Amino acid sequence: MTAPAPLAITHLTVAYGDKTVLWDITWQATPGLTAIVGPNGAGKSTLLRAALGLIPSIAGDARFFGRKLEEVRNRVGYLPQRASVDWDFPASALDVVCMSRYPRMRWWGRVPKAERDAALGALEQVGLADLADRQIGRLSGGQQQRVFLARALAQDADLYLMDEPFAAVDAATEQAIIAVLRRVVAAGRSVIAVHHDLATVPAYFDHVLLLNGRAVAAGHVKAAFTPDAIARAYGGRLNVLEQAVAEGGLR
For another protein, the closer of residues 82 and 195 by Cβ is: 82
Residues that bind another protein (CB under 8 A): 17, 49, 52-54, 70, 73-74, 76, 78, 80, 84-86, 89-92, 95-96, 99-100, 102-103, 105, 107-109, 135, 137-140, 142-143, 151, 155, 170, 172-173
Euclidean distance between the first and the last CA atom of the chain, given in angstroms as a whole number: 36
For another protein, the closer of residues 108 and 251 by Cβ is: 108
Compute the least distance from the CB of residue 114 to another protein, in Å.
16
Distant-in-sequence, close-in-space partners of 166: CB < 8 Å, separation ≥ 6: 145, 174, 177, 178, 193, 195, 196, 197
* Pairwise CA distance, residues 207 & 31, whole Å: 9
For another protein, the closer of residues 73 and 232 by Cβ is: 73
For another protein, the closer of residues 73 and 214 by Cβ is: 73
For another protein, the closer of residues 139 and 245 by Cβ is: 139
For another protein, the closer of residues 54 and 58 by Cβ is: 54
Strands 214-220 and 207-212: antiparallel
